[in-house]
Each structure stands twice: as structure tokens, then as C-alpha cells.
Amino acid sequence: MVRMRLQRIIRFSAALGLLTAIAAALADINDKGNATATGWVIISRFVVVLMFGGLGLFAAHESRIRGSIVMTSNEWTETLRDVINWGILPGLALGLINYFFFFPYRYSLFVAPRFREMNSYYDSFILSLDSGMNEEVVFRLFFFSCLLFSFRHLYAKLSNLWPSVVPILPVALALVLSSLLFAIKHNYSGFTAAFFGGMLLGWIYLRSGIESAIAAHFAANFLFFSASYLL
């Protein structure tokens, strides 16, 4: 049973790594990267996602959360429904909120030039796909899962003292800390949006797996980028 689960985790992580590497390569080519640089992007992204994704999925399983709906659901219709209801729709709502509240910061010097200089919906699509897949694997699948795993073991001895608090506290701490890490990565201008967005994405991941979190992140970015830079 353990060996079979490990094989499934490796296969899923490899597939996720391949998809993320392809998205990163398309983004690099679109940013006028050369062949050598693009090749390195593909290799490095694949390795990072394979390792971080695998560890994250293992931690998610040990923490008794879904981690991946593809790995835990037997019906593709159920998976598609969850991705739409818990991923795309909340993501579009998040993108709309970002547009109304953080529109003035879109040309901040803290924003990477490849975002500020986008001029087509293809740019928006590729950049949204690249950032959504990479960041969700690192910050939700890996950091959130590993923090949750650590905190649940740390507070397990207190279950007799605070039986109503222990089930909630590890989740809350993992959600806040992973969102803070996510916000720090987005620098000063995007800190607030990234923190609250990370809280929502963490909740989506907890509720419906990494696929829904990626879908939500992609939908939020695509709507925000398209509305802010192209309309």
C-alpha cells in the first residue's frame, strides 16, 4: 500500500512538473529567451516541481488533507465540477477584487517588466499559467502542506488540554505563514493583495486540492492582467 501510494505521488509529481516546465518554457520564449536559457528553465522547473510537489503530496497525505483531487477522486466529472466551483469561479472573483483595489499599482517599479510590458492576451494567458502553476506548487502544495504536517505533530500532545483548539490551530498557522511567505515574494506593492489572495488560495487548496488552487490562481491573474494591461 505504501509503495503504491509512493508510486502514485511520483507519477503525479512528474506529470505536474512536466506541465509546469512547459508553461515556464512558453513564458520564457515569449519573453525572448534564448535556447540555452529556455532549456535550463525547463530542467530546473521540472526538478523543482518534482521534488517540492512530491514532498508536498506526501505531507498532505500524512496531514489527512486531499492534496490532489485527481489522485483522490474516481470520477472525472466530479473533478471537473470541483475545479470549476472551487477554482475558476473564486479565482475570477479574486481577479475582480484585485482589479478594483490594486489597479493603481499595476505599473509600479516593483512589478516585473514582463508583466508591465505585456501587449496581448497570449502574454496574459502564458504568464498567468506559468505563475499560477509554479507558485501554487511551491506555496500551497509544499509550504502549506509541510507547515500543516509540522504544526499538527507539534500540537498533537496538547489535544487532551485543548481538544477544541488543536484541530483548528495548525490549519490557521499553516494558512497564515504560507500566505506571508507568498506575500513576501511579491514585494511591497503586491504584499497586501498577495497575502489575502494567498489566504483564499490556501483555503481552496485545503478544500479542493492543488488542481483547484492552480485554476483559481490562473483565473485571478488572467482576469487582472487582461483588464489592467490590455483593456
Taking the C-alpha atoms of residue 143 and residue 122, their distance in angstroms, rounded to an integer, is: 30
User: Which residues have a Cβ under 8 Å from the Cβ of 216 and sit 6 or more positions away?
Assistant: 86, 87, 88, 90, 91, 94, 200, 201, 204
Q: Write down the pTM of the prediction.
A: 0.94
**Residue 155's pLDDT is what?**
82
Taking the C-alpha atoms of residue 20 and residue 170, their distance in angstroms, rounded to an integer, is: 29
pLDDT in tens, 11-28: 999 999 999 999 999 988
**Domain spans in the chain, listed from the N-terminal domain onward:** 2-230
Amino acid identity, position 8: R
| Residue 73 or 27, more confident | 27
Q: Are 126 and 23 in contact (CB under 8 A)?
A: yes
The most confident of 102-111, 126-135, 163-172, by mean pLDDT? 126-135
